[in-house]
Amino acid sequence: MKRNIITNLSQGLFAVALSGLLLGSCTSGFEKFNTNPDSAQNIDQKTLITTMEMDAVIPCSDEGANAYQRACNLMGDSYSGYMAAISSFDNGGVNTTTYALDATDYNNVPFSVAFTNVMSAWLTLSYAYEAGQITEDTFAVAEVLKVFALQRATDIYGPLPVTHFGETENPYDAQETVYMKLFEDLNAAIAVLEEYATNSPDATPLQEVDIVYQGSYPKWLRLANSLKLRMAMRVVYAIPDQARVWAEEAVTSGVIESADGSATLATVGSIQVFNPLEEVWNAYADTRMGATMDAYLNGYKDPRLATYFKPCEDGLYHGVRNGIAAISKEYYLGMSVPNVDKTTPVRWLMSSEVAFLRAEGAMRGWAMGGDAESFYRRGIELSFLENGLSAAEAATYAESELTPAAFEDASGSTTHYNIAAPSQITVKWDSSADSEQMLERIITQKWIAMFPNGQEAWSEFRRTGYPRIFPIVNDRSNGTVDVNEQIRRMTFPRSEYSNNRAALNRAIRLLGGPDQGSTKLWWDKKNN
């Protein structure tokens, strides 16, 4: 008997639902999405798994680097302190990096990647699954990819049109509703993957189309549970009791524990993946090391510095303050660039992140399978291994009592944006520290380990307040964002104001505040 792992999908045509999602006219792309699902049998549906993988976490297809730059590098990568833009872009520095959110259409891109790219492929697969054209294991993988994409998108905007996606009417849902739906769908996928991982652990029917794990059911199960653990921790300040239940369920079912289980995207066979960050720092010459990264990595004398970035002409590593308006690019070209080439795997969810998630859970008294300090040290070790360093180097680093450094602007500009050290937190674990100090230590090292996944790093900063990130230099938000609080979300796509205003008005009501970068998301409740 076929299980119903599609929890809310209309069997009707997909028509009006995308009127506001196509980021163009009301009928733009209509034929692409409003196609009789029976025609799906005319193509190899499994290849849509590849399509979803190329965009679900980091946009690596179609526009490639351009989409990545606008959806990630000028948002999460910048807001997390990882990197800094050295181009003025729109109107002399009026862009997302200076919080001028209403003056740019960059805010369209994460929405487009999630819905026009990922969810259109998912919808076709869902029709195929209902028609018996693909099996439940294939669709379970598609569900995990969908959750990856939508969790990322909702953590950028807040409310999204999710629960009725694929139906004629597709209104926005509150972010809490979105998260509940994602947990529901992820749990259903996990149940399927558990069965296949147990009964057919060596089967790889998706080997030719899955460029993450080559169809391995056990690895997909661990990834799904690790994603569930990440999402559970994301909502810990909103629904703490339920967050604990989900987190403990994820660990019990089995999460990623070793570096070889990390989820990354790289060229496999004839399917080519080009890391989009390489083009942004090299061909575009638009991004350099962020000042916050400079302060932490140099202050800690972190051995990962040389794996993350390339040295400047003086043999040292120098960053750039975020949010410099009307920047003179030539002054900053010599600052450190990401040590990423075209073939560098794109990182999704790494084993080190999972260890730090378990460290935080253990600190909170949850059943994570160990204590906070052990998982904290394991997170450091796994990060070192993921970056080609040794366990011995990790052990030495874990005993360091160095602190982050002050930032000294080494650019050729006549104006230098120096700033004092952001924190005094050490690497070495302190079992006598209070819970807030423990949390800062865990999140700071987690932040370093997650590089260059800026979107997740930004989300963790918003959730916890850590690590301590330097404020931007120039605020172009017209007073709508407190630079000390920093940006809490991206405003809704400008195209939604033109093409989908009625639905957008509902979204703003569900947001619970104005459509501004200062309005907190549902889960952003730590200091409420």
Q: How far from chain centre, in Å, is Cα 340?
A: 18
**Within-domain flag for 185:** yes
**Within-domain flag for 250:** yes
Q: Rounded to whole angstroms, how far apart are CA atoms 283 and 275?
A: 12
**Within-domain flag for 7:** no
Query: Residue 155 corresponds to which tokens in the numbers above?
Result: 């953590």
Number of domains comprising the chain: 1
Average the pLDDT over 17-43 and give the result. Answer: 37
Q: Rounded to whole angstroms, how far apart are CA atoms 309 and 235?
A: 32
Q: How many CB atoms lie within 10 A of CB 293?
A: 32
**Within-domain flag for 502:** yes
SS3 305: helix
- Note the pLDDT of residue 5: 66
Per residue in 244-296, pLDDT tens?
999 999 999 999 999 999 999 999 988 999 999 999 999 999 999 999 999 99
**Within-domain flag for 237:** yes
43 has pLDDT over 80: no
Per residue in 95-152, pLDDT tens?
899 999 986 788 999 999 999 999 999 999 999 999 999 999 999 999 999 999 999 9
Q: How many CB atoms lie within 10 A of CB 520?
A: 18
DSSP state of 263: E
In percent, how much of the chain has pLDDT > 70?
A: 91
Average the pLDDT over 43-54 and give the result. Answer: 88
pLDDT-derived band at 33 (thresholds 50, 70, 90) equals very low
**Within-domain flag for 444:** no
Per residue in 375-408, pLDDT tens?
999 999 999 999 999 999 999 999 999 999 999 9
The number of CA neighbours under 13 Å toward the Cβ of 517 is 27
Residue 193 phi, psi dihedral angles, 5° rounding? -65, -35
- Note the pLDDT of residue 336: 98
- Note the pLDDT of residue 37: 45
**Within-domain flag for 424:** no
Please give the model's pTM, rounded to 2 decimal places: 0.93
Query: Residue 429 corresponds to which tokens in the numbers above?
Result: 């674990």
Q: What is the CATH number of the domain that holds 108?
A: 1.25.40.390
**Within-domain flag for 214:** yes
Exposure of 328 by Cβ count < 10 A (0-12 exposed, 13-18 middle, 19+ buried)? middle
Q: Rounded to whole angstroms, how far apart are CA atoms 241 and 221?
A: 24
Burial 244-276 (b: 16+ CB within 10 A, else e): bebbbebbebbbbbebebbbbbeebeebebbbb
Residue 231, domain extent: 50-272+487-511
Query: Residue 239 corresponds to which tokens in the numbers above?
Result: 């629904």
Q: Rounded to whole angstroms, how far apart are CA atoms 152 and 71?
A: 11
